[in-house]
Chain A
């Protein structure tokens, strides 16, 4: 374990479902991130939270909704997803807002059917 825990590890959902991904870190870090990983493509930065404030939102469709209730927890709420949203969703955290490196979770493998 890296200190960043993501649940669930695998998720299969229909296009009309609502589900949430959870990320938890106990490293005392101040910033947390959601990335989407699709095969043969660069990791796509989705959201950045620093001290529980969203500081970046990279044109992500509104069917993805992040929530950061405190500096240790980050959620990604999903609703009415499309099959092309199937991917590995990675959470990461960093010590400071100015990044000198991340700690990643193991990811949630999402399949939309």
Chain B
């Protein structure tokens, strides 16, 4: 079954520092990978996706993610964190059937001033 793992429950970073939120995947075949963000009392918002092509994917709000096939990872990154980036981040992978996505448990990002 297609699955993703987010090993960190929480990531803390100071404003202005680079941030990384980790995600590893387990799939058969080519992975279709996604990152979503959830702000308090809101649904999930799409950040970026990897389908094929360049391993470095750029997304919304200055976020990017690097697809690494040898390490089966798809880490989310941002060069300079903002306090407003504090939220819950979810990694996801498309299921084999093509219908629907499987999500990780989420990583809470806290950016302190």
Q: Which residues of A line the B interface, CB within 8 A? A: 2, 4, 6, 31, 33, 35, 40-43, 45, 48, 50, 55-56, 90, 92, 97-107, 109
Verify A100–B43 contact, CB threshold 8 A. no
Question: Which of B100, B101, B106 has the most CB atoms of chain A within a 10 A radius of its CB?
Answer: B100
Structural contact, A97 and B99, CB atoms closer than 8 A: yes
Residues in chain B near residue A2, CB distance under 8 A: 43, 45
Q: Give chain B interface residues in 92-110, CB to chain A under 8 Å.
A: 94, 97-106
Contact call B32/A90, Cβ cutoff below 8 A: no
**B36, B44, B94, B98 pick with most chain A CB within 10 angstroms:** B44
Which residues on B are within 8 Å of A, measured CB to CB? Answer: 9, 32, 34, 36, 41-46, 49, 51, 90, 94, 97-106
B residues near A92, Cβ cutoff 8 Å: 43-44
User: In the bound complex, do residue B9 and residue A56 qualify as a contact, i.e. CB atoms below 8 Å apart?
Assistant: no
| Interface pair B44/A40, CB less than 8 Å apart | no
Kindly state the separation between the CA atoms of A7 and B81 in the bound complex, as whole angstroms.
34
A9-B101 Cα distance, complex, nearest whole Å:
23
**Shortest Cβ distance from B48 into chain A, in angstroms?**
9
**Closest Cβ–Cβ distance, residue B91 to chain A (whole Å):** 10
Of the candidates A35, A45, A56, A101, which one forms a contact with B34 in the assembled complex, judged by CB atoms under 8 Å apart? A101
Answer whether A48 and B43 are a contact pair too, CB < 8 Å, given A40-B9, A101-B34. Answer: no
Question: Complex Cα distance A28/B43, Å?
Answer: 19
| 6 nearest A-B pairs in the assembled complex, by CB-CB distance | A104-B43, A43-B103, A98-B98, A104-B44, A106-B43, A42-B105
